[in-house]
Structure 1
Amino acid sequence: MRNVILYVNLTLDGHLAGPAGELDWMLFDPEMNIALSGEMRSRVDTILTGRAFHHGIEENFRAQASDPASPAELVDFATWMISTPQVVFSRSLAEVAAPHRLAGEDLAAEVAALKALPGKDMVLFGGVSIVQQFVRAGLVDEYWIKLYPTAIGAGQPLFTEQRTRLELVDSKAWASGILTLRYRPAR
């Protein structure tokens, strides 16, 4: 059965973004990004995302994939991001272009159906609302967290309204001060 991997950037005080969606606290660590993206791409063949993040993928990564000034590893990753099939969770979109598709309205039923399909694991990137819905519903099998050495005081949290016990699977400290943490739900 396929797993849902949640792949997020997180502040030290538990926020996915600032109060208005700010991401200006994120650091760039090319060594970490190359290592993690390679491992993730070897395990994943489907991207799960919300409407806004889907549009962000299409705009930002399409531009990076075709920019002659982009480093080769960024072009490779950007090409993967735009060509990998996405399942988009949205109540406002009427359609998305192939190879992507809209998810059904019942989150748990959609994820159960996706897990039953043949293929590799799936990665959930965001945005904040869909990530929080997956976490609240207990639909995440693995948490891949990039923990930044920055506290922002207020913002949009990863965990809301529920207590979640996790067990550590792996961790690594990078020269930038970012920690990569992998958890799975405690049994």
Structure 2
Amino acid sequence: MTMDGGTFLIALLIDLVVGVAIGAGIGYWLTTSRLKASKRELEIERQRVIEEAEIKAREVTLAAKDEAIRIRDEAENELKQRRIEWQREEERLAKRREELDQKLERVDQRERKSNQRQSQLDKLANDLEKQRGAIVAELERVAAMSQEDAKKELLAVVESDARNDMARVIRQVEAEAKEEADRRAREI
């Protein structure tokens, strides 16, 4: 079987077409396989990225929860400390108020005692003034006494005046003490 030139050419063309078709088929298959492999790799990479993102999101969420718990705990501790400080301040103020009330009560007692003493001194001064008047009247009555008797009566009058002066001085000292107590009470 010999082939002539035209048949050879046709056979060559057929072989060429079959070779090109087989090459194209193999190329298509290789390209498709590579695309599928790339697609699988991309899908695997996409899944890995998604998983990493989910892990990172969980980590961020946990970190945020931990931070929120830490902030809440700090706030609660600070609030607790402030409550303790307020309670201490309240107790200190209550104690101070009680001390002031006691001091005011003592000042009031001193003032009452001072007023009582002043009343007593005023009564004593009135009594002494009455006695002095009676003595003067008595002296006038006995103006015709002997020198010795007159001397005794004069000493009695001087003594009475001295007592009146003492009573006045005592009232003055008491008034000054009362003013001092009032001044200290206002300072408190």
TM-score (norm 2): 0.19
Higher relative CO (Cα under 8 Å, sequence separation at least 6) belongs to 1
TM-score by length of 1: 0.19
Which structure has the highest strand share of the two?
1
Larger radius of gyration: 2
